[in-house]
Structure 1
């Protein structure tokens, strides 16, 4: 009875737009009340226990490094390098959009930050070149979904923390799926540009001198994820220590190498990190209390038993989870879903012989599709508001991209090697 009341209250509070963290806290408090065992200290202790973890600091460190790097001038250098790489391709500006997302993913770890930045930088230029504004906005939003699965994505760290899965393995596993999604998007942009005659004129390839000059300017950004991933994989430092090193790296680049970050920029970056980090930590704290209640009521075990009775094959399991996450992602923010669902899904994986690292990449990518779908698609609203695109136009333009994302999710689900090849090799 108390569990049912908690779940109904949570759904209702989210539906009436109560901030998710407070909706979870209120629903857990109702559980204690109706279980006739309410003790405010127990709720507080469970929330605090979710934050008493050294690996959790990695989220704040990587978030801070990504925000700091936005003030260093590194983004402008990456954009110039992306333009050199994609110059001869049809739809070059669209290809730049995707390439820049891949390059920025290794720096920021935040899809909303990347989508916001590229909406300001690239969409106006794409519109001037003749691209439809809704298409340009939808492309920018979809390309930003590459961010959570390419290291050091915040979602990878959250899934690894909650599910007790190796963050180093997840970082390695996200590289090829992220590149796979980028290639699928670039193929679509290629044919879209040809069909609408956008930047299809023949252009000279970049000379070796131009390429290496651009690479030199972007080198500090390109080697950053290599240092982070390599250091973790070879045991030089932990994921948390890697986050601290990332912050130091961003400070050195901004203050001493490029010298484009002033003290005012540093202050802005710190304030932005505190605001963003506090929101995520509050969600984690609330989600920990919620997960404790589910474990207390043995919900994961009951769910595992019910699903394995109904679904016998791994193939069907992935399809069911895909449909479930597509619907859920429309209504619940991805980080919240990771906190709540990871403890429920992980006990199921052994029944189907699915590697938790492989599932994590599929899980995060599929959940991310909800960020560009109504009614609560965060990236959809951010990009549309910046570019001035009507939501109905965005939704129409995003349909081909949603299909591509579903195809990418299915490829990752049914070809485990895409995720597991690099963790296995290294």
Structure 2
């Protein structure tokens, strides 16, 4: 047990030193296998390989690839035009486009980091030209990207479902409600701030029916992808993993129809997918070996037994979990935290009778908020690096958004309806 404590502390120190996540997990895990008697050193290779030999995890490269193809094939531009027409008359029009675009792209890209990087390059320079402060533009971009993990097919849902043994299809459906709540509440907050700071609207007149019809026609087929995915999974035409393959075919067809997907762009998409998938799978494989180590030492069982013994009320348990995950999210990348912590926390939640779908939404949302929280929020660093925003100014500007996310978190935690209503309705 003492060795496990040392190993966990070493992993935390390496993460705080900004060592690559898979290395931070690999070093202490390898040390455990080397210095624990009775374990063959080849076992670590077996555990790493078995960790990535998962059918549900095949959905990760599929959805990553389809999202990248969407970005290269003009789909993003069409959806942005659609968002502009819908929000142009609202206060803070371009900031509203930012939020709505993240919501719509969540059903296409599946990755909040990719979404934030794309919008930071596309929208922030234009927002600055129109009088928005760089800090506000950066915060809106980073904050709105948190909607992406909640909108199907978010990669965070695939990871959580695969490691916690929860239906990925049900998680996809459950994320729609929280995603829409985040979108609408964030648009309301942006409107209040924009009106107070006198940020201009994008247009002074309402879009004509002809304009609306034009952008709907251009964005209709891209916007159908989430409907096709969820509908196909629910009807039983394909599994969540097969849905990823379907999304690639759909994205390729759109790219060919729109005549914007060249051979060079396709090669770039493949290379970018390989890099992204490799980084994710390295973390998944090492985290799998790390989780095996914890299970062998009975850490999950001990934690569950301790929590149940100390905490007798599920509402207090949820509060403690929220505080813990918010703290962890500040320090550790969301995907790695999900893979390591979900197998530990899900059994404890089940012992309190908490719906596994609702608990999944709580975990995913907590760790998403951590992505924009100092000191190590990955999305915060990516957007600040692209836009040139200082981290301390980002943190100050983000305060109203943190309060908003705290309110949404309390809703998801203590009102299961928001997470489970659509699941119960559809399933």
Rounded to whole Å, the distance in 1 between the matches of 2:203 and 2:172 is 38
Q: Deviations over 1:96-128 (max 9, x none)?
A: 110111111010001111111111111122222
Q: Deviations over 1:323-374 (max 9, x none)?
A: 1111111110000000000100111112222111111111111111111122
Residue 389 of structure 1 aligns to a residue whose secondary structure is coil
Rounded to whole Å, the distance in 2 between the matches of 1:313 and 1:182 is 32
Rounded to whole Å, the distance in 2 between the matches of 1:141 and 1:289 is 32
Q: CA deviation at 1:202?
A: 8.1
Gaps of 5+ in 2: none
Alpha carbons of 1:380 and 1:71: their partners in 2 closer, same or farther (altered >3 Å)?
Answer: same
Q: CA deviation at 1:257?
A: 0.5
- Residue in 1 that maps onto 2:347: 347
- Residue in 2 that maps onto 1:316: 316
- Residue in 2 that maps onto 1:72: 73
Rounded to whole Å, the distance in 2 between the matches of 1:92 and 1:312 is 48
Rounded to whole Å, the distance in 2 between the matches of 1:38 and 1:7 is 19
Residue 373 of structure 1 aligns to a residue whose secondary structure is coil
- Contact kept, 8 Å, 1:287 with 1:340, in 2: the verdict is yes
- Contact kept, 8 Å, 1:83 with 1:96, in 2: the verdict is yes
Alignment of 1:409-420 (within 5 A): 409-420=409-420
Alignment of 1:247-326 (within 5 A): 247-254=248-255, 256-326=256-326
- Residue in 2 that maps onto 1:35: 36
Q: Deviations over 1:265-293 (max 9, x none)?
A: 00000000000100100111111111111
Alignment of 1:10-409 (within 5 A): 10-199=11-200, 203-254=204-255, 256-409=256-409
Q: Deviations over 1:385-426 (max 9, x none)?
A: 111111111111111111111111111111111111111111
Give the TM-score of the pair, scaled to structure 2. Answer: 0.97
Rounded to whole Å, the distance in 2 between the matches of 1:382 and 1:402 is 18
Residue 372 of structure 1 aligns to a residue whose secondary structure is coil
Give the TM-score of the pair, scaled to structure 1. Answer: 0.97
Q: CA deviation at 1:47?
A: 0.7
Rounded to whole Å, the distance in 2 between the matches of 1:236 and 1:333 is 34
Q: CA deviation at 1:15?
A: 2.6
Return structure 1 stretches of 4+ with deviation > 4 angstroms.
none
Rounded to whole Å, the distance in 1 between the matches of 2:209 and 2:364 is 38
Q: CA deviation at 1:9?
A: 2.1
Rounded to whole Å, the distance in 1 between the matches of 2:66 and 2:380 is 25
Alpha carbons of 1:163 and 1:37: their partners in 2 closer, same or farther (altered >3 Å)?
Answer: same
Residue 224 of structure 2 aligns to a residue whose secondary structure is helix
Residue 70 of structure 1 aligns to a residue whose secondary structure is helix
- Contact kept, 8 Å, 1:29 with 1:38, in 2: the verdict is no
Rounded to whole Å, the distance in 2 between the matches of 1:208 and 1:422 is 32
Gaps of 5+ in 1: none
- Contact kept, 8 Å, 1:5 with 1:31, in 2: the verdict is no
Q: CA deviation at 1:38?
A: 4.4
Rounded to whole Å, the distance in 2 between the matches of 1:176 and 1:13 is 37
- Contact kept, 8 Å, 1:2 with 1:32, in 2: the verdict is no
- Contact kept, 8 Å, 2:88 with 2:201, in 1: the verdict is no
Q: CA deviation at 1:201?
A: 9.2
More off after superposition, 263-272 vs 406-415: 406-415
